[in-house]
Amino acid sequence: MKITKICCIGAGYVGGPTMAVIAQKCPHIQVTVVDLNEQRIKDWNDPNTDNIPIYEPGLSEIVSEARGRNLFFSTEVEKAIDEAQVIFISVNTPTKTYGKGKGMAADLKYIELCARQIAKVAKQNKIVVEKSTLPVRTAEAIKSILDNTGNGVQFQILSNPEFLAEGTAVTDLLNPDRILIGGDTTPEGEEAINALVDVYANWVSKDKILTTNVWSSELSKLTANAFLAQRISSINAMSELCEKTGADVSEVAKAIGMDSRIGPKFLKASVGFGGSCFQKDILNLVYIAKSYGLNEVADYWEQVIIMNDHQKRRFSNKIVQTLYNTVADKKIAFLGWAFKKDTNDTRESAAIYVADDLINEQAKISVYDPKVSRNKMLSDLDYLETRSDEANSKALSIFDNAYEACKSAHAIAILTEWDEFTTYDWQKIYDSMHKPAFLFDGRNILDAKHLESIGFIYKAIGS
């Protein structure tokens, strides 16, 4: 089967960048990204590609090249489904906030809605690709819905999970470690797998394209995120022990990272991991394990989340303790609100929870982040429902630059490792601060000795 038309349902952090790269690398394939959110589609179609809804280095240039040629963004969902041979499902799968599995299981209502819409619209055979992160055996439910339409259309369900790191998504798409495609082992399933392999083979060498059965593919995504998050929680656990014993966690991380069996990645002590995937996927893994009666397995992975929550609380507690056990009416400057550098995504960012703790202690929070808007910061705090929206607005001040955010502050908390923070005139910042001034660097992006030389009392987790 030769693929000439692709549709992607969902114009978010995965669907938008992935389809943009496919369109750029496959000019012979028409790629249409659809979403019911009219404003999001309008933003993707903004003539100024710097205003597209997702910030990723290099993404605006790719969108600019392909959009209008063979890349289209539309709200005409049914039309795109009808025309496409391959339909990617790339919608949100949040953690359930209700019913059975509340707080752990993935909420699959948007996935089911997509399947029902595809079943309703499709008039010819289709390949349906799971791009969203899903619990193992979700493909079974999708296939059940699609195969019971009664209209005679044949569907093949493939699992093609994304392995993108926000901030490097474009690089990850252009030069992936691997492309994973899972499908049925039937002749029809193999044909569908090969059709998708041929799409990626336009720019990815075939030795990097791994094919498996559907269940292995679905579970591999959850497992990859669980292993990465586990490393972060492990080094953060050691950072607390290092503080008590006088060891330097950066030196410990370097020493163990030189072991070829361990490697250096994801061994940087921090305030804790954030983002849309790690916590959600581990909680989903915990729920799946419990549903099969694997309680010891569930407890093992749940500890990764417990350690991560502890690290965030420990960081905010350290700020309070250092500022003489009270931050009431004191100005604490936050540099960074996004969960990591080079993205405007704030989902599960440590900054949200540290700010929430400090506002509970009646601190005044001033924030500068180069890519996150005031409205997003306030909505993040409002979502926690800890206090009224009005109280959050009074406690949080957002600035257009770091110098204003830090002026007259009692302390600075660096919560995102934006590269620009390393270029600042720190003497100027220090001179503008309330004395004594404190720095809390949860990301280890600055040199402690340099900061001490200009008068900071350096207090940091993992430094």
Q: What confidence tens digit (pLDDT) does each residue in 200-216 have?
A: 999 999 999 999 999 99
**3-state DSSP of 359-371:** HHCCCEEEEECCC
Catalytic pick from 56, 130, 162, 417?
162
Tell how strand 396-398 and strand 86-89 pair up: unpaired
Q: How far is CA 303 from CA 124, 143, 287, in A?
A: 47, 34, 13
Q: Active-site residue 61, yes or no?
A: no
pLDDT at 191 exceeding the cut of 90:
yes
pLDDT at 105 exceeding the cut of 70:
yes
Tell how strand 30-34 and strand 411-414 pair up: unpaired
- Rounded to the nearest 10 degrees, the angle between the axes of helix 59-66 and helix 15-25 is 50
pLDDT at 1 exceeding the cut of 60:
yes
pLDDT at 141 exceeding the cut of 90:
no
pLDDT, averaged across the chain: 92
* Range of lowest pLDDT (187-201, 213-227, 429-443): 429-443
pLDDT tens profile 17-57: 999 999 999 999 999 999 999 999 999 999 998 899 999 99
Give pLDDT, residue 148. Answer: 80
Give pLDDT, residue 462. Answer: 37
Whether the CB-CB separation of 410 and 323 falls below 8 Å is answered with: yes
Q: Exposed (0-12), middle (13-18) or buried (19+): which is 15, by Cβ within 10 Å? A: buried
Which residues, including other chains, have CB under 8 Å from residue 91's CB and lie 6 or more apart?
9, 10, 12, 110, 111, 114, 132
pLDDT at 458 exceeding the cut of 60:
no
pLDDT at 160 exceeding the cut of 60:
yes
pLDDT at 10 exceeding the cut of 50:
yes
Q: Residues 132-161: what's their mean pLDDT?
A: 85
Give pLDDT, residue 446. Answer: 53
**Reduced to 3 states, what is the DSSP secondary structure of residue 214?**
helix
Residue 7 phi/psi, 5-degree rounding, is: -120, 140
Residue 371 phi/psi, 5-degree rounding, is: -130, -10
Q: Residues 93-116: what's their mean pLDDT?
A: 90
Give pLDDT, residue 137. Answer: 79
| pLDDT interval class at 461 (50, 70, 90) | very low
Q: Residues 376-402: what's their mean pLDDT?
A: 96
Give pLDDT, residue 147. Answer: 84
Q: Active-site residue 162, yes or no?
A: yes
Give pLDDT, residue 173. Answer: 97
Residue 270 phi/psi, 5-degree rounding, is: -155, -175
- CA–CA distance, 396 with 390 (Å, rounded to integer): 10
pLDDT tens profile 232-275: 999 999 988 988 898 888 899 999 999 999 999 999 889 999 99
- CA–CA distance, 66 with 55 (Å, rounded to integer): 17
| pLDDT interval class at 135 (50, 70, 90) | confident
Catalytic pick from 96, 126, 131, 221?
221
pLDDT tens profile 358-386: 999 999 999 999 999 999 999 999 999 99
Q: Active-site residue 8, yes or no?
A: no
**Reduced to 3 states, what is the DSSP secondary structure of residue 56?**
coil
Catalytic pick from 7, 8, 277, 406?
277
Give pLDDT, residue 397. Answer: 97
